[in-house]
């Protein structure tokens, strides 16, 4: 599938060929959604020690759309099917009117089958994949700087943002957005006080093999803060691990506050 780069203020899309994707973030301000565009789920706190096997892995745009569909209202689900259609058929962009509507309707069954592994799921993981997901260890703060920007929230260390960061997932002409909503206590960094763990994570970082694994709970679904009306999953951080390229935990990160 042809890789597509789409411009959006402060967002770098996860562009993909087939099912492969690469990470990016958005630090644009996000206004509160209206009742007509958002479906809220109870935002109960999840035990940080919840076993890993209780989480499903969100790796693709399709996975994101599946989690979104679990929480979205009826009109939001239609938005997800539309994005899925854009993933599966690059000629979809050329359609309009009745032809476009008929195509989306015809893809409903395929969408249901594709997202079946995510049906009813709210606990999921997302693992970053760049070679610069966290920066060098700060000995005074005992923390790694968050290069993914996912925990920056309203505490952007560079002072250029007043809203939560967003991660855009793109495959073909299909899009989905992930936004973390309880980032205040993280302060844009991953605190690791255990020296052995910090050394292991830093060694992996220097080798370009250090990544961030977010354990998350989806709490709501709405449209992203952009004119393209992309589906957006809002999720709370359950816990964060710094992992190697094979997903093995190197360090358990803690909030700074």
Task: Answer whether residue 195 is part of any domain.
Answer: yes
The per-residue pLDDT for 100 is 96
How far is Cα 60 from Cα 62, in angstroms, rounded to an integer?
5
pLDDT digits (tens, 9 = 90+) for 103-118: 999 999 999 999 999 9
Task: Answer whether residue 41 is part of any domain.
Answer: no
How far is Cα 172 from Cα 85, in angstroms, rounded to an integer?
10
How far is Cα 161 from Cα 70, in angstroms, rounded to an integer?
30
Task: Answer whether residue 115 is part of any domain.
Answer: yes
Burial degree of 36 (CB within 10 A; 0-12, 13-18, 19+): exposed
Given a cut of 70, the residues of the chain with pLDDT beneath it are 1-44, 154-164, 227
Domain count, the chain: 1
Residue 253, number of CB atoms within 10 A of its CB: 28
Query: Do 237 and 216 touch, CB atoms closer than 8 A?
Result: yes
pLDDT digits (tens, 9 = 90+) for 19-62: 444 444 444 433 333 333 444 444 448 999 999 999 999 999 99
Task: Answer whether residue 8 is part of any domain.
Answer: no
Q: Print the domain residue range for 85.
A: 13-29+49-253
Task: Answer whether residue 89 is part of any domain.
Answer: yes
Task: Answer whether residue 2 is part of any domain.
Answer: no
Task: Answer whether residue 5 is part of any domain.
Answer: no
The per-residue pLDDT for 75 is 78
Task: Answer whether residue 38 is part of any domain.
Answer: no
The per-residue pLDDT for 139 is 96
The per-residue pLDDT for 217 is 97
Query: Do 190 and 202 touch, CB atoms closer than 8 A?
Result: no
């Amino acid at each position: 599938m042809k890789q597509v780069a789409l411009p959006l203020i402060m967002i770098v899309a996860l562009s993909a060929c087939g099912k492969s994707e690469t990470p990016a973030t958005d630090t644009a301000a996000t206004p509160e959604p209206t009742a007509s565009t958002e479906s809220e789920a109870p935002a109960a706190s999840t035990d940080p020690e919840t076993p890993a096997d209780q989480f499903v892995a969100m790796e693709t745009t399709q996975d994101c759309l599946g989690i979104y569909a679990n929480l979205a209202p009826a009109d939001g689900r239609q938005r997800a099917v539309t994005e899925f259609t854009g993933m599966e058929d690059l000629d979809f962009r050329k359609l309009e009117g009745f032809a476009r509507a008929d195509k989306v309707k015809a893809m409903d069954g395929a969408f249901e089958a594709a997202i079946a592994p995510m049906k009813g799921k709210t606990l999921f993981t997302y693992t970053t994949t760049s070679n610069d997901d966290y920066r060098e260890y700060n000995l005074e703060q005992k923390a790694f700087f968050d290069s993914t920007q996912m925990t920056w929230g309203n505490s952007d260390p560079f002072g250029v943002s007043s809203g939560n960061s967003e991660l855009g997932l793109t495959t073909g002409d299909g899009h989905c957005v992930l936004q973390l909503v309880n980032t205040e206590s993280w302060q844009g960094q991953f605190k690791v006080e255990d020296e052995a763990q910090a050394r292991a994570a830093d060694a992996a970082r220097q080798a370009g093999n250090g990544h961030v694994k977010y354990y998350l709970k989806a709490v709501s679904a709405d449209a992203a803060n952009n004119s393209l009306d992309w589906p957006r999953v809002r999720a709370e951080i359950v816990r964060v691990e710094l992992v190697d390229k094979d997903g093995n935990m190197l360090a358990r990160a803690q909030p700074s506050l």
